Structure 1
Amino acid sequence: MAEVPFIAIEGPIGIGKTSLAKKLSVHFDFHLLKEIVEENPFLGKFYDDIDEWSFQTEMFFLCNRFKQLEDIEKKYLNRQKAVVADYHISKNMIFAKRTLQEDKFDKYEQIYHILTKDMPVPNMMIYLHASLDTILKRIRMRGRDIEQNIKSSYLAQLAQDYEDYMNEFEVLHPNIPVIRINGDETDFVKQQNDLNRIINQVAYHLNGNAEVAK
């Protein structure tokens, strides 16, 4: 990979994106970019009443993610410093399409395209996916108060939305490798062998040949 590595990890809520990003950051000595989640003042209200609080919630995320990526581009990517992120800003459209009413979505989409037209696109994507049971279990395990009222139906639909999004991403960006990881069969937090397999996959795309994980 000739260009400076910019790896984005995506997948539904609670799937383990941040945990994996941290581990890859340490192993490859890449800068870690973490999305702002709990700092969103509207998120708790959003999970209680999606229709009422979706626009405020999505706009907060969009503006903060835009600022984060703008800083990352200036301070790291433009200086040939590799980055691994636990999200990419394109995920915003997944949530906006699902939660916003048509009139508000039209306004949101216009703002989104204005802000992101010059944003860097990751040159490697890692997609974590799992069954609804696994997602619910991991959300309970991490115990964020604001997530305890998330409806199972919302999570199930979100998981399908992510699947559709990643399938579309691969069509639109055929030259960007996508590493798919089944969370039902992989536990990179507790099982070092599982983590090593992911590291080897990442190293293969970075270097063109497999690296023996340490």
Structure 2
Amino acid sequence: MDLESYKYIVVEGPIGVGKTTLTRKLAEHLGAQAVLEQPQENPFLEKFYRDAARYALQTQMFFLFQRIQQLQELAQSDLFHTRFVGDFLLEKDPLFARLTLADEELKLYEQLYQHMRPHAVQPDLVIYLQAPVETLLERIKKRGITMEASISPDYLQRLCDSYSRFFYNYDAAPLLIVNNEHMNMAEREEDFQQLLSHIIEMRGKRAFLNRGE
């Protein structure tokens, strides 16, 4: 499948793995529109990082409404003439909810999620980026976003485990799993070209890209 055939690609993965950076680079390379999460617009996020138990529900609901609105706008677009690269799947939203919400809050969230969940456009390809927790922490520290400084290794490990379980059974779209520990697709053109080659050469529903040091 050549690159021109992909109309909607999604890049996913845990915090700090590089999904937004890759999304922007892919969108630029493909002449596509980037569909990006907007965490800076969430008024509860900084409070959540300081006091997760108190602000988890508000934070989660804001993101849910925001993501649904973005996907509804995407569904109304002309996918025959406009290409998109996004940095989130709506289906990953419950992963965060299950990590942060108390039992009664989670029940409320799940009811709202099932009620509001749109019939979203399915991607032609999902790229799932992986990296060890130690690498994620280094990257989070390097980018220097103040409110992320309190993210704990335990939370990141549980988040990575949740992503692994989710994508182990994922079959809604072709899936390319990329070990991003030793890759720098934003700054090393050979890494980015290797990714593009794997996308073009994909056959079937699942493929892997794992480059060592």
- What TM-score, normalized by structure 1, do the two folds share? 0.88
- Correspondences of 1:44-123 after superposition (within 5 Å): 44-77=46-79, 79-123=80-124
| Residues 124, 177 of structure 1: 8 Å contact kept | yes
Which position in structure 1 is the counterpart of 2:211?
Answer: none
- Which residue in 1 is equivalent to 2:29? 27
The correspondence for 1:199, drawn from 162, 184, 196, is 196
CA contact (8 A) 2:6 2:125 kept: no
Post-superposition offset of 1:45: 1.1
Q: Secondary structure at the match of 1:20?
A: helix
Q: Contact (CA 8 Å) 2:27, 2:34: kept in 1 or not?
A: yes
Residue 42 (str. 1) matches residue 39 (str. 2): no
Alignment correspondent of 1:151: 152
Count of residues paired in the alignment? 201
Partner of 1:148, secondary structure, is helix
> In 1, Cα distance between the equivalents of 2:28 and 2:106?
38
Which residue in 2 is equivalent to 1:139? Answer: 140
Alignment partners' CA distance in 2, 1:73 and 1:30: 15
Residue 120 of structure 1: CA displacement?
Answer: 1.7
The one-letter code sitting in structure 1 at the alignment partner of 2:154 is S
Do the aligned partners of 1:69 and 1:119 also contact (CA within 8 Å) in 2?
yes
* Aligned-partner Cα distance in 1 for 2:50–2:14: 19
Query: Equivalents in 2 of 1:86, 1:138: separation in Å?
Result: 17
The answer to whether the Cα contact below 8 Å between 2:74 and 2:121 also exists between their aligned partners in 1 is no
- Pairing partner for 2:182 from 177, 181, 185: 185
C-alpha distance in structure 2 between counterparts of 1:115 and 1:83, whole Å: 23
Q: Residue 164 of structure 1: SS of its match in structure 2?
A: helix
Contact 2:72 2:118 in 1 (8 A): no
Residue aligned with 1:181, SS: strand
**Aligned-residue offset at 1:190:** 2.3
SS of alignment partner, residue 138 of structure 1: helix
The question of whether the paired residues in 2 share the 8 Å contact of 1:21 and 1:84 is answered with yes
- Give the superposition deviation at 1:3: 7.7
TM-score of the two chains, using structure 2 as the length reference: 0.88
**TM-superposed deviation, 1:62:** 0.3
Q: Distance in 1 between matches of 2:114 and 2:202?
A: 29
Distance apart, 1:185 and its partner CA: 2.3
Matched with 2:206 is: none
1:98 is aligned with what amino acid? Answer: L
Q: SS of 1:186's equivalent?
A: coil
Question: What is the rounded CA distance, in whole Å, between the counterparts of 2:132 and 2:193 in structure 1?
Answer: 23
User: Residue 13 of structure 1 corresponds to which residue in structure 2?
Assistant: 15
